[in-house]
Structure formats: C-alpha cells, structure tokens
C-alpha cells in the first residue's frame, strides 16, 4: 500500500521512523513533515529527501497517514490546531506516551482510524521495539501497513487491551534506561578492579549485546541459556548467588511495577484535561 505520509513534529523518534521507512524503500517524495523549528527544515529535507512545512495543516491536508510525534503535553493543542484538515479516510499514528486513544479520537473530531504506539529509543539504531494498539476503525490493511512501518526500524507487538500499554512502557519503552544503568554500574565495578574505562565499557556492553542477540536469535529457554554458563561452584554461580541474595527479583519487579504505575498516572492526567 503506497501512501502519502505526514509527520507532525520531526524530532529524534520521527527521524528514526522516517529513516526506517526510507531504508525499506519508501520514496522521499511520499513523505512530508511539519515543525515549528524552521532552522532544522533544510537539514531534514537534505537528510531524508522529504518536504518540510512550518504549518502542520499544510502537511496533514495531503496525507493518508499522519504520525503524531510531538510531546504529550503539547499534543492536544497541536491536533486542535490542524483539526480542520482532518479527513475521515486518514490513519493517525501517535507516538506520544500516555495519550489514550479516546483522547486522540476526541481531539481529532472526525471518526478516523487511530493507532497508539509506544516505541523506544533503540529505534534510533534500527533496533527498536514498539507496542501497538488500534481503535475499531482501523482496518486489517492499515494495521499491516503500520506493522511494516515499525518493523522498518526494529520490531513490534500488538496488544488488545489499552491498559497493557502501561506494561509495554515498563518492559520496553522505558527499559533501555534500566540496562544503561546496569551498564554504568558494571563499568564502574570493572574500573574499581583496575581496568581503564574504555576496556571496562567494551567488555560490559558487548556481553549485554551478545546476551540479547542469543535470546532473540536462539530458541533456547532463557533459564537454560543461563544454566549453560553456570558451572557448579564456579565464577558465574558466585555472581548469580550474590544477585539473588541482594534481591534482584524483588528489585526488578518493583522497578517495572513503578514504571507501569507512573505510566497509568500520566495517562489519567492527560485524560482529565
């Protein structure tokens, strides 16, 4: 399905999506963007081969699919600003965290197809993971198109219950920060034992990268992968026993629960406006 695509707001996440679409073969002339940051327009046009507009309405009016990539606290005013250009045959895809579908439907006014997404920052390097949920007006063909779009810079999962988007946020949207924090601690621990920062960083990050690659590439159970490198009374066992003694399960579970809880609170705050 060859469609005209508009991006309202062209920051890092929109750039990742546009980059993925262009890399997958989507033509630059089929993509337009709008942003109040006029000083960035020339660079974006040269980088992606797209057309940029200052007025959101100019971009939205010509699109079949509109990606809403502005900050959550600005989204309502931005949508209301181009509402006159909304057509009921359009598909709207939101990447604004915490904004629920019913709020988007209300702001868009017309009965349009809406997909709410929760991508994450690894999309910037083609390794993103996105959670998706669609409203009842979204056709199977539109859902397939959206899935392909998000797969162009990583992968995706669909959820059927919008409440599960809070869990998506906790397990994927915010989760890269958890791993960055773990890496910071590991790197510091290596340096405390005498390694220079560059060496400690490379050892730690490639271990994490390799572990993730094994989990996503192999069919083995994760627990079995762990057992495969845990020799009885060996070095790995000593480390894992310490993690268990320090309460890794309770700690990680509490972090995920806190993230999901805050996501729900933010959603309620936006919905009440």
| pLDDT of residue 211 exceeding 70 | yes
56 is annotated as contributing to ligand binding: yes
Domains and their CATH numbers in the chain? 5-161 (3.40.50.720), 173-267 (1.10.3730.10)
Segment 45-93, tens digit of pLDDT:
999 999 999 999 999 999 999 999 999 989 999 999 999 999 999 999 9
Q: What is the pTM of this model?
A: 0.91
β-strand partners of 68: 8, 94
pLDDT band, very low/low/confident/very high, at 37 (cuts 50, 70, 90): confident
pLDDT at 266: 85
Q: Where are the alpha helices (DSSP H) in 113-196?
A: 140-151, 165-168, 175-192
Say whether 130 sits in a helix, a strand or coil.
Answer: strand
Positive or negative CA dihedral for 218, 209, 203, 187? negative
Residue 271 has pLDDT above 80, yes or no: no
Q: According to the model, what pLDDT value does residue 269 have?
A: 79
Percent of the chain at pLDDT > 90 equals 89
Q: Tell whether residue 34 is among the known ligand binding residues.
A: no
What does the mean pLDDT of the chain come to? 94
pLDDT at residue 1 tops 60 = no
User: Is the predicted pLDDT of residue 2 greater than 90, yes or no?
Assistant: no
pLDDT at site 273: 65
pLDDT tens, residue by residue, 212-246: 999 999 999 999 999 999 999 999 999 999 999 99
Is the dihedral angle over the CA atoms 227, 211, 123, 91 positive or is it negative? negative
Residue owning tokens 């220079």: 196
Pairing of strands 51-53, 113-118: unpaired
């Amino acid at each position: 399905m060859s469609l005209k695509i508009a991006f309202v707001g062209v920051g890092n996440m929109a750039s990742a999506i546009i980059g993925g679409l262009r890399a997958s073969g989507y033509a630059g002339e089929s993509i337009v963007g709008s942003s109040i940051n006029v000083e960035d327009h020339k660079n974006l046009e040269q980088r992606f081969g797209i057309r940029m507009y200052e007025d959101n309405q100019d971009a939205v009016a010509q699109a079949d699919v509109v990606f809403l990539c502005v900050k959550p606290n600005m989204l309502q005013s931005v949508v209301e600003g181009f509402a006159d250009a909304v057509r009921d045959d359009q598909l709207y895809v939101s990447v604004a965290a915490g904004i629920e579908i019913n709020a988007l439907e209300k702001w868009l006014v017309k009965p349009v197809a809406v997909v709410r997404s929760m991508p994450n920052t690894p999309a910037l390097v083609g390794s993103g993971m996105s959670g998706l949920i669609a409203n009842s007006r979204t056709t199977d063909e539109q859902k397939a198109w959206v899935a392909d779009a998000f797969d162009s810079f990583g992968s995706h999962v669909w959820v059927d219950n919008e409440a599960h988007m809070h869990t998506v946020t906790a397990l994927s949207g915010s989760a890269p920060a958890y791993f960055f924090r773990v890496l910071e601690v590991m790197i510091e621990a290596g340096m405390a034992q005498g390694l220079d920062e560059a060496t400690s960083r490379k050892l730690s990050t490639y271990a994490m990268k390799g572990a993730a690659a094994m989990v996503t590439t192999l069919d083995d159970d994760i627990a079995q992968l762990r057992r495969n490198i845990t020799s009885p009374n060996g070095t790995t066992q000593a480390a894992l026993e310490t993690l268990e003694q320090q309460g890794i399960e309770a700690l990680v579970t509490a972090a995920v629960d806190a993230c999901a809880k805050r996501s729900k609170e933010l959603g309620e705050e936006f919905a009440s406006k």
